[in-house]
Amino acid sequence: MNRAVYDERPPGSLVPTSVAEASRAMAGDTTLSENYAFAGMHHIFDQHVDSAVPRLQFANDDKHLLACCSLDGTLSIMTLSPSPPSVKVTLKGHGGPVTDFAWSLSNDIIVSTSLDGMLRIWNTEDGRCIREVRDPESSELLCCTFQPMNNNLTVVGNSKHHLQVVNISTGKKVKGGSSKLTGRVLSLSFDAPGKILWAGDDRGSIFSFLFDMATGKLTKAKRLVVNEGSSICSISARSWISREARDPSLLVNACVNKLLLYRVVDNEGTLQLKRSFPIQHGSQLVHSIFCPLMSFRQGACVVTGSEDACVYFFDVERNTKAIVNKLQGHGGPVLDVSFNCDESLLASADSTGMVIIWRREQK
């Protein structure tokens, strides 16, 4: 077990400047600030108003298909084109607030978790519930994620501190695919190859697990205490941040009024703090993302929600004044953000149930 130390280590080692300058010249001389300038609101969805929308996510490799889940017990699949944007289908069936969901790689299935203790598998075309899997402990389900290399397998976290790998084709839990954390399991993320799984709990710990591709077995590897008693409410893994910063990295929201960026230092998922960025985040389940496109530009960008009702863009390579952009327009804490595949649209969701689609300025 290793404890996090909030040292502001100089990020100069992150990107070799000469290489960054060369690739920036290839891409044209736009800065990150210019690259992430937004022309304003493209659309507002309000079908979940009065109930928080804790998660939203664009479909994989898709510009116009977006889904979100709500504490009102439903999920929405929205299409942004053709205009005007509209709700394509509503997924109804959960008997309690929906806490998390994930798109399958081919976007034909969504899995969702709820406080009703059910994992549901949905057909995204017609909104039909294909299967429901009750938590073995009948406890609240708080988060889920697909195994990136095998979409038959989903990992689910519950309120009784347990992780479980579930085969969604059979509805059965995988033998050896369970483990226990120190608190309620709030966040999950695989590395791109699907070999390491990180899980965060509400006691301030991030655990890494080695995932056996052949059997679905989980083996506990490392534990990091970020901040005793703080909720680890968002974990995002990325193989590279940019073409020059080729460290595997983890982006973490941990209710410490900072967005945390870690370096993954070995093949067991050991984490070393690389940078932190000030945001207002003390209690809500706020999430963040890496920008999906690998940038030729100098620096690299991450986006996070915040309890001050704003969306923040940070350049992970800047020593000072790391804020690249700030979007205002929400009426409550921003809980989640998602880019579409070409970064032309950003979606953000808040605690009042509002979903805003932001359009990036076209250069």
pLDDT of 295 strictly over 90? no
Better-scored residue on pLDDT, 12 or 184:
184
Q: What is the pLDDT of residue 24?
A: 47
| Token pair 């300038």 in the structure block, residue | 37
- C-alpha torsion sign, points 203, 191, 13, 24: negative
pLDDT of 167 strictly over 90? yes
Q: What is the pLDDT of residue 318?
A: 81
Q: What is the pLDDT of residues 69-80, one digit of tens each?
A: 999 999 999 999
Q: What is the pLDDT of residue 297?
A: 56
Mapped onto helix, strand or coil, the DSSP state of residue 18 is helix
pLDDT of 293 strictly over 50? yes
Alpha-carbon distances of 213 from 94, 103, 147, 148, 359, rounded to whole Å: 31, 20, 9, 10, 39
Q: What is the pLDDT of residues 174-215, one digit of tens each?
A: 999 999 999 999 999 999 999 999 999 999 999 999 999 999
Average pLDDT over residues 263-291: 96
Task: Kindly report each contact of residues 293-297 with a partner whose C-beta sits within 8 Å and lies 24 or more positions away, as own/partner.
Answer: 293/342, 293/343, 294/240, 294/242, 294/243, 295/27, 295/32, 295/35, 295/242, 295/243, 296/23, 296/24, 296/26, 296/27, 296/243, 297/20, 297/23, 297/24, 297/27, 297/30, 297/31, 297/32, 297/35, 297/242
Rounded CA-CA distance 132/117 in Å is: 10
Closest of 339, 340, 307, 310 to residue 323, by C-alpha: 310
Average pLDDT over residues 21-50: 73
- C-alpha torsion sign, points 104, 108, 114, 120: negative
Average pLDDT over residues 292-296: 69
Mapped onto helix, strand or coil, the DSSP state of residue 32 is helix
Q: What is the pLDDT of residues 114-158, one digit of tens each?
A: 999 999 999 999 999 999 999 988 999 999 999 999 999 999 999
pLDDT of 5 strictly over 80? no
β-strand 218-225 against 2-3: which pairing, if any? Answer: parallel
| Token pair 């479980």 in the structure block, residue | 164
Q: Which two tokens stand for residue 112?
A: 């969702």
β-strand 310-315 against 74-79: which pairing, if any? Answer: unpaired
Q: What is the pLDDT of residue 37?
A: 85
Q: What is the pLDDT of residue 363?
A: 62
Q: What is the pLDDT of residues 311-333, one digit of tens each?
A: 999 998 887 889 999 999 999 99
Q: What is the pLDDT of residue 299?
A: 66
Rounded CA-CA distance 316/245 in Å is: 10
Q: Are 15 and 298 in contact (CB under 8 A)?
A: yes
Q: What is the pLDDT of residue 26?
A: 40
| Token pair 């863009």 in the structure block, residue | 313
Determine which of 29-43, 171-185, 195-209, 213-227 has the lowest per-residue pLDDT on average: 29-43
Average pLDDT over residues 227-234: 97
Better-scored residue on pLDDT, 105 or 31:
105
In this prediction, residue 16 has a pLDDT band, given cuts at 50, 70 and 90, of very low
